[in-house]
Structure 1
Amino acid sequence: MARKHVNLGTAPDKRDLPQKTCAVCAKPFTWRRKWARDWDQVKVCSDRCRAAGTGS
């Protein structure tokens, strides 16, 4: 069975993306395209962590 989503050299490999540690749950999370403009300000990995505690 063929893979539908194949990286043809246009996107970086997932393990090459930057990572951070969540300020609330302390788990690592990787860069997402929707965070491209404000990656420096991202402190939490999800809406659940944002609601659970302050990401400061």
Structure 2
Amino acid sequence: MAHARSKSDLPTKICPVCGLPFTWRKKWERCWDEVKYCSERCRRRRSQAITDD
């Protein structure tokens, strides 16, 4: 069995809504390029973030 990566080795992105960094998750393995938001809450609030700028 392969060794697991340490959390610090995983790719990260910055959420455009809350501005916090979030780390790659196994469930995003096939769609990491499309992932933009750290959570459902931020995804739902995306239109508010765009109008606030």
TM-score by length of 2: 0.79
1:1-42 CA distance string (max 9 Å, x none): xxxxxxxx6210011000000011110000000000000010
What aligned pairs does 1:15-34 form with structure 2 within 5 A after superposition? 15-34=8-27
Q: Which runs of 5+ in 2 are unaligned?
A: 48-53
* d(CA) in 1 for partners of 2:43, 2:6: 27
Q: Give aligned pairs, total.
A: 46
Q: What is the RMSD computed on CA atoms of the aligned residues?
A: 1.2
Q: Percent identity?
A: 57
* d(CA) in 1 for partners of 2:27, 2:16: 19
The runs of at least 4 consecutive aligned structure 1 residues that moved more than 2 Å come to none
Between structure 1 and structure 2, the one with the greater Rg is: 1
Higher helix share: 2
Structure 2: which amino acid aligns with 1:23? P
Q: Which runs of 5+ in 1 are unaligned?
A: 1-8
